A and B are shown apart, each in its own frame.
Chain A
């Protein structure tokens, strides 16, 4: 069992739909990163959070430390949101990554 697990692995959506990606972790963490990776490999940090909820534009990230669970929500999804979304847990100064969720949003 991976220390950081994501679901679903693949997700397709119609433009405008509300998207939820889930992340569960089994290790102790000081913070959790949500990252976006486009084809070609570049990784962009979306959020880093250690409690509660953060919002940036159409993206919302929440974390429940007691339940060791985090979610990434995308409201009003758009084809440009198509990418791989990765959650990564900060554990003793390094990141432990999930395997990613591949999202495709169709017009």
Chain B
């Protein structure tokens, strides 16, 4: 069990550029979550998938953000036309089964800095 992995760990980009992050969940975990955490705050929910289906998106996820999980395994989160306000830690988590009681396992996060 290698745990949840995220790549890259750090990304520095200029305002207006597009960025893409990848999350590889623990194998056989059905659910995959994306969260965003700004400095000094707790994480905030962005979106989640059950297998390849995106079941819910937060209003935080503007139309510049898109997430996919095409084969129900890894997921990507793309931010188009980045803004300085997008600077944050982007966290991915996975859980083994449907239902709200299953423990989530977190990846190390991708820290995005938009200059």
- How distant is the Cα of A92 from the Cα of B32 in the complex, in angstroms? 15
Cross-chain contact A42 with B48 (CB below 8 angstroms): no
Cross-chain contact A41 with B100 (CB below 8 angstroms): no
Cross-chain contact B103 with A94 (CB below 8 angstroms): no
Q: Mark contacts of B70-104 with chain A using CB atoms, 8 A cut-off: 1 yes-contact digit, 0 otherwise.
A: 00000000000000000001010100001111011
For chain B, the count of residues having a C-beta within 8 Å of the partner chain is: 27
Cross-chain contact B103 with A96 (CB below 8 angstroms): no
Stretch among A11-19, A62-70, A74-82, A83-91 lining the B interface: A83-91
- How distant is the Cα of A90 from the Cα of B45 in the complex, in angstroms? 11
Residues of A within 8 A of B42 (CB): 4, 86, 88, 97-100
Residues of A within 8 A of B55 (CB): 93
Residues of A within 8 A of B89 (CB): 41
Question: In the complex, which of the residues B44, B93, B100, B108 contacts A93, with contact meaning CB atoms closer than 8 Å?
Answer: B100
Cross-chain contact B100 with A45 (CB below 8 angstroms): no
- How distant is the Cα of A86 from the Cα of B42 in the complex, in angstroms? 7
Pairs A-B, 10 closest by C-beta atoms = A97-B42, A43-B106, A41-B109, A30-B100, A90-B100, A93-B100, A48-B103, A99-B42, A31-B101, A94-B45
By a beta-carbon cutoff of 8 Å, the part of chain B in contact with chain A is: 31, 33, 35, 37, 40-45, 48, 55-56, 89, 91, 93, 98-101, 103-106, 108-109, 111
By a beta-carbon cutoff of 8 Å, the part of chain A in contact with chain B is: 4, 30-31, 33, 35, 40-45, 48, 50, 86, 88, 90-100
Provide a sorted-by-A list of 9 A–B residue pairs whose CB atoms are within 8 angstroms: A30-B99, A40-B108, A41-B111, A45-B106, A48-B103, A86-B43, A93-B48, A94-B48, A99-B42
